[in-house]
A and B are shown apart, each in its own frame.
Chain A
Amino acid sequence: MKLIEFRNVSKRFGRQVVLDRISLQVNEGESLVIIGASGSGKSVMLKHMVGLLCPDSGEVSFDGHRIDQLSERELDELRINFGFLFQQGALFDSMSVEENVAFPLVEHTKKPPQEISRLVDEKLRMVGLPHVRKKMPAELSGGQRKRVALARAIAMSPRAILYDEPTTGLDPIRSDVINELILKLKHELNVTSVVVTHDMHSAFKVADRIVMLHEAHIIFDGTADELRSSDNPVIQRFVSGRAGDEELAGLRE
């Protein structure tokens, strides 16, 4: 069953076309990875899924209902279905870890403080950080910040978790911890995951399905094995991390 759907979605910023008549379905329970070069519109796609951006044309739907025409208040209700992990975590730096994770629970539920505290403990244990609840975000490492942000993203038990470059800026070990966490959350919470990344190791590890964006279009939609065996030179260069003549032209002048 499809949970998120794009129908002919186009988006431009100024004169730059970022998405050009993109159509895509994300099925319930699946892990979709969106890959593509920096600036190819991956994060823009992710932001359309939660209504942070509106398409210039086309339709975006969640669970069969169009969301691209909703008001900000209607979107607030819809967004409770999503967890969103931002590239740098986007933790509220004036709040402690505990307050950050409790934030959506305090805002959207009438649970008593003891219950909220128990849930905060539970979520922090799920991301492997039960001992940091009194710390401030500035006291955490980059990897810890992302894991706390993930604990906050799952606080409301969302139906879908959207990850915006979850391993960017982390060393390979910390990156692998995040990848394992994505898999763990998928299996334990049975959530739909959409991961935006250009880290191919991460993509191959967590993906049920991979979509590649290039020059505002989807140029690949399939499994990790199909991606590896693709004979499209753009895909091959991206997967193997080799710059082409076009990218290197500037260095040779």
Chain B
Amino acid sequence: MPLSIAERVGSRTLGIIEQFGEFFVFTARTFRWLVSAGWMPKNLRLLLPQFYEIGVRSVPVVAVTGAFIGMVMAVETYNQFASIGQQNRLGSIINLSVVKQIGPVLAAVMLAGRVGCALAAELGTMNVTEQLDALRVMGSDPIRFLVVPRFVACVLLTPVLTAYSDLLGILGGWFISVFVSNIPNHMYWYYSTHGGVDTWQIMEGIVKAFFFGGAIGLISCFKGFNSGAGASGVGRACTESFVNSFLAIIILNFIFAQISQDMYTAIYGIRSIFS
């Protein structure tokens, strides 16, 4: 039996490597179409419906998520800060967490769920009903027609939605801190900006949102294009799209945190919120 186990492990490993290879080719073809034809008017007109579907329709869920995360942060951290008499500095930790980590990551996770699954389901259904083949036989590459506009919309709108989520998170934290926990309004904002949030922190969150959006768009479209047959195949594509997007977001977030921390320390030195 050891051979059989080795065979199975080998076959599974080869399968994973093959999937990575196919994803790489898919990504390369997307970028090639994006560069060579993405700017053409007939392709630009494909963007508006995607902006609406991916951007406008995601606003409510991202807004609610952002606002409640800010509020929860305020509720959870108040007692700890109050116990050491530093409750006036609550704004710095809430806003720093929101703009650097929680805002971008949670907005991206919500988009992986709402947008990523919808893309995988839509393209997966088109795959199993031969609509992708219909595009090919009419001489229109489905990557140009379907993937590029969705990818561009994800890349451009995830940072916008992240900024919106950040804003609502900041307002949610401010509302609880000032109106429920009775922290003086001017102190809350003073410590938010002095030693707390600066342009670097905001930009870190926004810049990584571009990459989160790109990962969601590419992974979801790839899973949809390669969905198995029937309803179960499309369902599996949706699940895999979310799980893989989530993993990509978490891994990218770690990479960005490390790079950003190193760069910030090299340029500005270590900066404490208690300074």
Q: If the complex has contacts A106-B42, A107-B42, are A90 and B138 also in contact, measured as CB distance less than 8 A? A: no
Is the Cβ of A107 less than 8 Å from the Cβ of B129? no
Minimum distance in angstroms from A241 CB to a CB of chain B: 27
Docked pose: A252 CA to B124 CA in angstroms: 40
Is the Cβ of B134 less than 8 Å from the Cβ of A79? no
Minimum distance in angstroms from B198 CB to a CB of chain A: 45
B133 beta carbon closer than 8 Å to chain A: yes
Docked pose: A115 CA to B56 CA in angstroms: 34
Kindly supply a per-residue 1/0 record for chain B positions 87-127, scoring 1 wherever the CB is within 8 Å of any chain A CB and 0 otherwise.
00000000000000000000000000000000000000010
Minimum distance in angstroms from A5 CB to a CB of chain B: 19
A23 beta carbon closer than 8 Å to chain B: no
Docked pose: A141 CA to B130 CA in angstroms: 18
Kindly supply a per-residue 1/0 record for chain A positions 85-97, scoring 1 wherever the CB is within 8 Å of any chain B CB and 0 otherwise.
0111011110000
Docked pose: A75 CA to B138 CA in angstroms: 10
Is the Cβ of B138 less than 8 Å from the Cβ of A79? yes
Is the Cβ of B139 less than 8 Å from the Cβ of A79? yes
Minimum distance in angstroms from A110 CB to a CB of chain B: 10
Is the Cβ of A80 less than 8 Å from the Cβ of B133? no
Is the Cβ of B139 less than 8 Å from the Cβ of A86? no
A84 beta carbon closer than 8 Å to chain B: yes
Identify B138's interface contact among A47, A73, A103, CB under 8 A: A103
Kindly supply a per-residue 1/0 record for chain B positions 60-73, scoring 1 wherever the CB is within 8 Å of any chain A CB and 0 otherwise.
00000000000000
Q: If the complex has contacts A88-B129, A90-B129, are A107 and B134 also in contact, measured as CB distance less than 8 A? A: no
Docked pose: A208 CA to B69 CA in angstroms: 70
Minimum distance in angstroms from B135 CB to a CB of chain A: 8
Docked pose: A82 CA to B137 CA in angstroms: 7
Minimum distance in angstroms from B31 CB to a CB of chain A: 15
Which chain B residues lie closer than 8 Å to A87 at the CB level?
130
Is the Cβ of A52 less than 8 Å from the Cβ of B136? yes
Minimum distance in angstroms from A78 CB to a CB of chain B: 8
A-B contacts besides A76-B139, A77-B139, A86-B133, 13 pairs, CB < 8 Å: A50-B137, A52-B133, A79-B137, A79-B138, A82-B137, A86-B134, A88-B130, A90-B134, A91-B131, A107-B42, A107-B139, A108-B139, A156-B138
A and B contact pairs by CB, cutoff 8 A, 23 listed: A52-B137, A77-B139, A79-B137, A82-B137, A84-B134, A86-B134, A87-B130, A88-B129, A90-B133, A91-B134, A92-B131, A93-B129, A93-B131, A103-B138, A104-B138, A104-B139, A104-B140, A106-B42, A107-B42, A107-B138, A107-B140, A108-B139, A156-B138
Q: B residues touching A (Cβ–Cβ < 8 Å)?
A: 29, 42, 126, 129-131, 133-134, 136-141
Q: A residues touching B (Cβ–Cβ < 8 Å)?
A: 47, 50, 52, 72-73, 75-80, 82, 84, 86-88, 90-93, 103-104, 106-108, 152, 156
